[in-house]
Structure 1
Amino acid sequence: MLPTFSPTASASPVTPPPRPIPGSYGPPVLGPLRDRLDYFWFQSQDEFFRRRATANRSTVFRTNIPPTFPFFIGIDPRVVAIVDADAFTALFDPDLVDKRDILIGPYNPGTGFTGGSRVGVYLDTEEPEHGRTKNFAMALLHRSAQTWATELRAGVDGMLDTVEAELAKASGDNLSANYIIPLQQCIFRFLCKALVGADPSVDWAVDKFGFTILDIWLALQILPTQKIGAIQPLEELLIHSFPLPSFIIWPGYNLLYRFVEKHGAEAVAYAEKEHGIGEKDAINNLLFVLGFNAFGGFSVFLPFLVAKIGEAADPSALRPRLREEVRGVLRACGDDGAEFGFKAVREMPLVRSTVYEMLRMSPPVPLQFGRARKDFVLRSHGDVFQVSKGEVLCGYQPLAMRDPEVFERPEEFVPERFIGDEGQALLRHLFWSNGPETSQPAAGNKQCAAKEVVVDTACMLVAELFRRYDDFEVEGTSFTKLVKRQPSPSLSAAAAGAPQ
């Protein structure tokens, strides 16, 4: 559990004077190198932050964050780490923090990965282009709402057809079907249709290799900051010691660029005419929203969600409860769910709470960063710290959203946690979208433009699984059991009495 250091401080009406932020960066070179090896090699990411919080008896402390020595020239690895829900909110205040070029920390992969454009997520709210790109992203999502549910359902049906066929071929002890590649193909195809307005099937290379291109494109940008578990010290020498070059993926990125330019011309023209964004920047922003925000986020989060719901051991009998709730809403939409969409999944409190709880336990983006815009006082459950202008704040969400000061049984997966008035009140501490779940994305903040759509899409995927199956089991990234839905008694009786 995340340690609690001042259990009575938050109840005190008197604010104590600011105290120095505990922790140390260590000696030059050796301090960052020690922290880097702990982060990537000797400890897990969770353990890295937990140990330092315990050692410093504080949920706010100083440490180094990778990437570091030797070839990341000009990058300062020193950060102020935050692992509690109270202090974490400072990262969402545009008056306190600058978000310029700090999406994944002090390290910035560079514009070589985005066609030479500084796309919206790397812009600070005070930069004029930020408002234009953020408004474009939100408008794009609004325009896609008419086809989103239909395209998603078609994509999920195709994915599950593939999984069923593979599982039918399996036998003996190897009775499993991996769903990662079919899921990624599904996500890529439906996002292209819904967001870009372009069907990948019109271009054979894009349809077949588009999701793989995005996987490689994403990996080259973030791997210097990620532990992948390769043989050491090869991972340290080849992955974590220097920025990975963008030219490796340029042919693939250019293929996707030309696809959007040709087949997504309407969306590009909309960006130009309605939002004042030039063609090149419009295409690069479209590709980033498609590839990094949407495809990347869904590819990370949805497998966690499917695996958790599909665990063979189901002590809380979650699947039967989810199935009952989904089927009840589907019946209200007509048994085939023809009218099933955003409105319907918002009438599924357990499904929605389960998605929220998974976002709490396994947020798609675990780290949030910001650079102090000015000197300010950081409050953390009764403790007060002085932050200096220019210091980088690093918030680690998986611990902040398991804060025992806020959540009961914080380390447990509790599907119904966010149901009812008390559950809804906890949503202000759910930060996965770079902002509280109770606030809304706007041109003046950095909250994910697709905050609502992500939750609704995850709920739709859960609903599609229970529309099709009475039960299923998952081990890792593979389905091991699929029990097809049985016809309802009324439908069976009608079929039995029908003319032959």
Structure 2
Amino acid sequence: MVPSFRPPATRPIPGSYGLPVLGPLRDRLDYFWFQGAEEFFRHRAAEHKSTVFRANIPPTFPFFLGVDPRVVAVVDADSFTALFDPALVDKRDVLIGPYSPGVGFTGGTRVGVYLDTEEPDHARTKAFVIDLLRRGARTWAAEFRSAVDDMLATVEADLNKADSAPASASYLLPLQKCIFRFLCKALVGADPAADSLVDRFGLFILDLWLGLQLLPTQKVGAIPQPLEELLLHSFPMPSFAIKPGYDLLYRFVEKHGAGAVSIGEKEHGIDRKDAINNILFVLGFNAFGGFSVFLPFLISEVGKAGRDGLRLRLREEVRRVLGDGGDVGFTAVREMPLARSTVYEVLRMQPPVPLQFGRARRDFVLRSHGAAYEVSKGELLCGYQPLAMRDPAVFDRPDEFVPERFLGNNGEKLLQYVYWSNGPETGEPTIGNKQCAAKEVVVATACMLLAELFRRYDDFECEGTSFTKLEKRQLTTPTPS
């Protein structure tokens, strides 16, 4: 007789929220100061002997602002998948947690990423973004290569004139300029050079716009305590501070990105104002913000001292695929498995968006590696990706950077546990889910950056966000017979 399978019995979710005011305050101080985000989740998982537990997540605003910091934290690969199931969770206004910056930052529009899949406008705005990416794919690689040219020329010049010993040159600002200019051209179809103010100040406007929205959820560290907690983490930041800059970018998209705007209006039935605000959010938050966080991680990880063996292998792969004069593009990077695996590993170790949220649409059972927990309708789930994607039940040597981790058949099977895009890497973005529409483009662009570096340089090294060495490629000349 074959024994029937019995699912594990449910048990209460461990942990508590503590006393009113004091419990959230204690968790907030642990999260920002005493432990830091990663240790905050690690410590509680170890304390409760569970990868699912209750905690308070910053920001913990005064109760009259209507933000409830109580969450059910999930930090393993198994339970994390519930956050991607539209049947289980509602994604309405929970992009960055229980706190939402408000529509003042987006020109009065509730943009697509704040919409739940059951809201009527979600499908049309997601389809609009997918169409923008398809349109941009025609020029994406060429615009990226051109912007990288300018970036590396700037870095080389800074490195050559550096007086410090050893010489170094920061790549952060040149990289941000590269990202901003190529995204405007490829995604919006507008050249920042057409507006001198946008060309000079556009990326700084986006930095400030992003910062004001995210500030209550981030540790700054440059302001003495208790001022940071009182001034930056206790109240939402005002949108009026960035309105003049946002209006400048709005007019730029309206005038110079008319082709992109018309796609939203004519093909998806989106109001002109809402189309422009959605374009600006995708440009500024998703694309510019995401690349500004992720690409520095990628460069610094590959460029670390002691990783010359990895760089040698990447250089050989890039030059084998490109030959002497080939251009880097979407087709070429698909033939670079080590570069792709390296990109996936950086995304696994340091996802650009560490937290994912979803509110329980109904009562359901959350399963986690043999355990099961009852989640009640309305509870907010908070997934911490850096731990979920280092789950020792899934990944060997989970806390080590292993660039070849995703090579071969076994490596490809692990991609189902790479969740950086608000869904598994093996999934597909559709109008019915919340997975990042640019999932494939992000990976390809990161591979293009690696390919451009190794096409130009025999080797490079980084310390933090600065290049300390750029060893230009030595082209061999044929020996006369």
1:174 Cα deviation after fit:
5.0
Letter in 1 for 2:173: I
Contact persistence 2:460–2:471 (CA under 8 A): yes
Q: Give the counterpart of 1:343 among 331, 338, 343.
A: 331
Letter in 1 for 2:326: G
Give the unaligned 5+ runs of structure 2. none
Q: Aligned with 2:253: secondary structure? A: helix
Counting only pairs closer than 5 Å after superposition, residues 229-248 of structure 1 correspond to structure 2 as: 229-230=221-222, 231-248=224-241
Equivalent residues, number: 477
Q: Give the counterpart of 2:278 among 282, 285, 290.
A: 285
Contact persistence 1:91–1:393 (CA under 8 A): yes
Task: Find the counterpart in structure 2 of residue 493 from structure 1.
Answer: 478
Task: Find the counterpart in structure 2 of residue 480 from structure 1.
Answer: 468
Letter in 1 for 2:79: A
| Distance in structure 1 (CA, Å) of the matches to 2:375 and 2:246 | 40
Q: Aligned with 1:146: secondary structure? A: coil
Cα deviations by residue, 1:448-486 (Å, 9 ceiling, x for unpaired) = 000000000000000000011000000011001010011
Contact persistence 1:345–1:456 (CA under 8 A): yes
Q: Aligned with 1:135: secondary structure? A: helix
Q: Aligned with 1:51: secondary structure? A: helix
Counting only pairs closer than 5 Å after superposition, residues 323-334 of structure 1 correspond to structure 2 as: 323-331=315-323
Counting only pairs closer than 5 Å after superposition, residues 19-34 of structure 1 correspond to structure 2 as: 19-34=11-26
| Distance in structure 1 (CA, Å) of the matches to 2:5 and 2:314 | 43
| Distance in structure 2 (CA, Å) of the matches to 1:119 and 1:294 | 14
Task: Find the counterpart in structure 2 of residue 297 from structure 1.
Answer: 290
Contact persistence 1:71–1:241 (CA under 8 A): no
1:59 has 2:51 as partner: yes
Contact persistence 1:33–1:69 (CA under 8 A): no
Letter in 2 for 1:337: G
Letter in 2 for 1:463: A
1:232 Cα deviation after fit:
2.0
1:347 Cα deviation after fit:
0.5
Letter in 2 for 1:415: P
Task: Find the counterpart in structure 2 of residue 122 from structure 1.
Answer: 114
Letter in 1 for 2:360: A
1:223 Cα deviation after fit:
0.9
Change (3 A) 1:234 1:22: same
Counting only pairs closer than 5 Å after superposition, residues 53-452 of structure 1 correspond to structure 2 as: 53-70=45-62, 73-230=65-222, 231-314=224-307, 317-331=309-323, 335-338=324-327, 340-452=328-440
What fraction of aligned residue pairs are identical, expressed as a percent? 74
Contact persistence 2:124–2:270 (CA under 8 A): yes
Task: Find the counterpart in structure 2 of residue 6 from structure 1.
Answer: none
| Distance in structure 2 (CA, Å) of the matches to 1:229 and 1:406 | 35
Change (3 A) 1:285 1:172: closer
1:13 Cα deviation after fit:
4.9
Contact persistence 1:16–1:383 (CA under 8 A): yes
1:421 Cα deviation after fit:
0.3
| Distance in structure 2 (CA, Å) of the matches to 1:441 and 1:52 | 33
| Distance in structure 1 (CA, Å) of the matches to 2:63 and 2:381 | 23
| Distance in structure 1 (CA, Å) of the matches to 2:290 and 2:207 | 11
| Distance in structure 1 (CA, Å) of the matches to 2:5 and 2:426 | 26
Give the unaligned 5+ runs of structure 1. 1-11
| Distance in structure 1 (CA, Å) of the matches to 2:12 and 2:478 | 74
1:14 Cα deviation after fit:
3.3
Contact persistence 1:105–1:369 (CA under 8 A): yes
Letter in 2 for 1:40: F
Cα root mean square deviation, aligned: 1.2
Change (3 A) 1:472 1:439: same
Q: Aligned with 1:284: secondary structure? A: helix
Cα deviations by residue, 1:333-362 (Å, 9 ceiling, x for unpaired) = xx2223x31011011000000000000000
Task: Find the counterpart in structure 2 of residue 7 from structure 1.
Answer: none
Task: Find the counterpart in structure 1 of residue 453 from structure 2.
Answer: 465
